[in-house]
Amino acid sequence: MAKVYFGFWKDKLIDNRGKPVEEWTESPFKIDDKFNGKPVKAFVNWDGFLVFDEEADILKTLSDYMFEISSYGCCGRCFPGRTGTRIIAEELLKLRDNKSDASPIETIKDMCISINKSAKCTVAPTSVIPVIRFFYHFANEVSFNGKFEYKYVRHLTAPCTAGCPANVKIPEFIEAIKDFRFDEALSIIRETMPLPGVCGRVCPHPCEKNCRRGLVDEPVNIMVLKRTPWDYEFYHNKEVHIPLYREKTEKKIAVVGAGPAGLSSAYYLAQLGHTVKIFEMLPEPGGMVAVGIPDYRQPRELLRREVEIIQNLGVEIQYNTKLGKDIFLDDLKKEYDAVLIAIGAFKSREMGVEGEDAGYDGVMSSGIDFLQDFSLKKPVKIGNRVVVVGGGNTAIDCVRTALRLGCTDVNLVYRRSRAEMPAEDYEVADAEEEGVKFHFLINPVKVIAKDGKVTGIECIRMQLGEPDESGRRKPEPVPGSNFVIECDTIIPAIGQFPDLSFLKESDGIKVTKWNTISVKEDLYMTDVPGVFSAGDCEWGPNTVVKAIGAGRWAAIMMDRYLMEGDVYLTDEEKLQLTLYKNKVFDKTEKVCETKTIHRVHQPKLDPEYRVKNFEEIEKPYSEKQAYLEATRCLRCMRMAMVSFGE
């Protein structure tokens, strides 16, 4: 981790001038002392600036930062933003070079304060913060000129974008929606997310947790705005235009798994001219989205439309083909120039309770198997009184599916409180509206059966103790609090993990202690050249949007491996990932006063109607609704810059 020589960060002054290096402060912004192998010199963003080297030319760095803000960061719609920031950059350079016509420091400070108060968006106002902080606390460094030649890289982001695993350019596509430029908005989204129709419906939208609008009233409804241009294209039967960036290459790539990660990688690899074939163990595409998410959340025909778009790029999909059974890694390595393993995490965890493995009629193998069998129209034997064990979205999908299958007594048992549930709040609320009974701080201990059939599940009440490794308070049993919930069907839905039984020792692919495929950090390649992995099988069960983001990154690395013979991150990509890992959103930030505009909620079917069928519950925005919600965006664009030596 880099150590700070001096700087100012989030209202905290850091000054280690005159101290030996070993006494310098560890950087509050997590960044390695080697940036892509090069010595890091300084870092600047909207929170301030940090100097990591005694000979760093901070005045030149701040000047370069302001030049980039003016030419690249600002939209140009206001004079203080585009022109004011350029004037600041020029004056900083004059000061550095000791030119006689340089403005006095106080004048530069006044100009910065004026820009901070008058620029229309938030790019320019936040960009002057490091300059102001420098002059207030380190004006005596103005006369110092660094002794080294340096390079820098900058990255334009936003708190919402920096919180999105797929790095969707959120303010940009929302701006396009606000101008009713739906085609352009969809093109912007597809630059980093090829499945916007899916992610606009089932994404857990971590971006909204980073939305600065939420510090004023409610976050912008980014997820629904994301599906809006896709819905516009689909329901208006618009012709789909996907750009191709390279002529056909002679490279052949095998992708194992047609889930979000596999489909995404295939999309971007096809755009780059490669021939891609996907091998999928299920009879249809989508992975867990297809068979683990019911149609009332993600209609199957819309998912298939997204896949058709990818297939129209020349991607071939072979179904009912399982790795380790129908195809083998050795054969794929011989036939293809590169292989991506994106098989997801379909293997279910057991509850670990007495009687679970006794073969009683009424104990289902898992929630995933229940949802998958129903999705594939296989026979599903379910009683009238159901207990689902778990607290994630899969558990919620199980109880809501059971209701739609006619069950009248549907219960969900979760060992923590509602506040700790990993399931989406609105999904839980919808399930409650539909009649699901929730039992919090309850844990199953024994399956009760008579004559080989389930009659109930014995549970024990729990209380929350100290936080565990996940940061959530650990549930502990309350002695003597056992009781029985009568039921005839028990569905465990407590998590999944990847099935890596296809791997042999001779394959040379390492497996982590969490039973996931080990890859080189941020590069997605295993220890076997040409074999890559991405998605849930690489880090364990996670979100659709994270799998999509991983699929894109894997495609980038595979392309570099095939065309350049190596995998690597560019300097800007390194900065982008550094910002993502630092969680740049500040929950304590005081946002300037702005008019309250209530969040626009999409139309939703009534509980009494929707519980009787699998029709999509949440309907699309109208164009007017999309416009109104888009106007709530504060356009919180931000720029970060890192300077480094050779």
Q: What is the DSSP letter of 77?
A: S
Tokens of 426: 């609105």
d(CA 413, CA 391): 8
Adjacent-strand bridge partners of 348: 496
Same domain, 380 and 473: yes
Same domain, 190 and 327: yes
Mean pLDDT of all residues in 88-93: 94
Same domain, 504 and 609: yes
Tokens of 521: 């950090």
Task: State the pLDDT confidence band at 11, using cuts at 50, 70 and 90.
Answer: confident
Mean pLDDT of all residues in 351-380: 94
Task: Supply the range of the domain harboring residue 340.
Answer: 170-345+498-567+598-637
All residues at 6 or more sequence positions from 346 whose CB lies less than 8 Å from its CB, including other chains? 288, 368, 496, 498, 499
Mean model confidence pLDDT for the chain = 94
Share of the chain above pLDDT 90, in %: 85
Look at residue 539 and tell me if it is in a domain: yes
Last residue of a domain, one of 449, 480, 496: 496
Mean pLDDT of all residues in 517-542: 95
Whether 77 shows a pLDDT value over 90: the answer reads: no
Q: For tokens 């599903």, what's the residue?
A: 380
All residues at 6 or more sequence positions from 201 whose CB lies less than 8 Å from its CB, including other chains? 223, 227, 297, 298, 302, 618
For 141-152, write each residue's pLDDT tens digit.
887 766 667 899
All residues at 6 or more sequence positions from 529 whose CB lies less than 8 Å from its CB, including other chains? 561
Specify the pLDDT at position 147: 66
For 562-613, write each residue's pLDDT tens digit.
999 999 999 999 999 999 999 888 888 887 766 778 999 999 999 999 999 9
All residues at 6 or more sequence positions from 588 whose CB lies less than 8 Å from its CB, including other chains? none
Tokens of 475: 């549930």
Mapped onto helix, strand or coil, the DSSP state of residue 189 is helix
Task: State the pLDDT confidence band at 167, using cuts at 50, 70 and 90.
Answer: very high
- What is the CATH classification number for the domain harbouring 130? 1.20.1440.230
Phi and psi at residue 10, to the nearest 5°: 50, 55
Mean pLDDT of all residues in 121-139: 92
Specify the pLDDT at position 78: 85
Same domain, 483 and 534: no
For 268-306, write each residue's pLDDT tens digit.
999 999 999 999 999 999 999 999 999 999 999 999 999
Task: Name the domain count of the chain.
Answer: 3
Same domain, 176 and 296: yes
User: What does pTM read for this prediction?
Assistant: 0.94
Look at residue 542 and tell me if it is in a domain: yes
β-strands 338-341, 531-533 pairing: parallel
Tokens of 156: 């334009």
